[in-house]
Amino acid sequence: MKYVDSWQFWAFLSAGFAALTAIFAKIGIENVNSDFATFIRTIIILLAAGVIVVASGHWQAPASLSARTWMFLVMSGLATGLSWICYFRALKLGQASQVAPIDKLSVVMVAIIAVAFLGERLSAGAWAGVAMIAGGAVLVAVS
């Protein structure tokens, strides 16, 4: 089962679950405030992640993490929470088929930020792909 050790396998699963997230969330927020729905979703994620960490034996003492690690994990958590709140509010107001592509502009933003701040390099073909993702997201959202 070498594929289980590949980033492509997990990225594909992530995309599939993200698609289900949009569909399930759109149905689930019909009769509830989007912020409260995000709160419920966060509790479920916290419980599921906790079970996975404990069951897989990957628990670490929180004190074993460096201050730098804590800082960036806290910032990532805050960014995730803000993203989810905005995403659920957008789903409440718009169609899932239009909200999800705009949300995926994060792929374009990650590429730009990774090049600018992490020193990553993208080939001309990769930049063409980033441009197509941006164009495709806009076309789906406005059509």
Distance CA 68, CA 3 (A): 32
Domain count, the chain: 2
Same domain, 80 and 113: no
Residue 136 domain-assigned? yes
Domain that residue 124 falls in: 104-143
In this predicted structure, the answer to whether residue 2 has a pLDDT above a threshold of 90 is: no
More confident position, 4 or 118? 118
pLDDT of residue 1: 67
Residue 98 domain-assigned? no
SS3 131: helix
Q: Which amino acid is at 106?
A: S
Share of residues in the chain with pLDDT > 70 (%):
99
Per-residue burial over 88-112, b if 16 or more Cβ lie within 10 Å, else e, is bbbbbeeebebbbbbbbeeebeebe
Average confidence (pLDDT) over 107-133: 97
In this predicted structure, the answer to whether residue 13 has a pLDDT above a threshold of 80 is: yes
Same domain, 20 and 74: yes
pLDDT of residue 142: 86
Residue 99 domain-assigned? no
Please write the tens of the pLDDT for every residue from 56-107: 999 999 999 999 999 999 999 999 999 999 999 999 999 999 999 999 999 9
Share of residues in the chain with pLDDT > 90 (%):
89
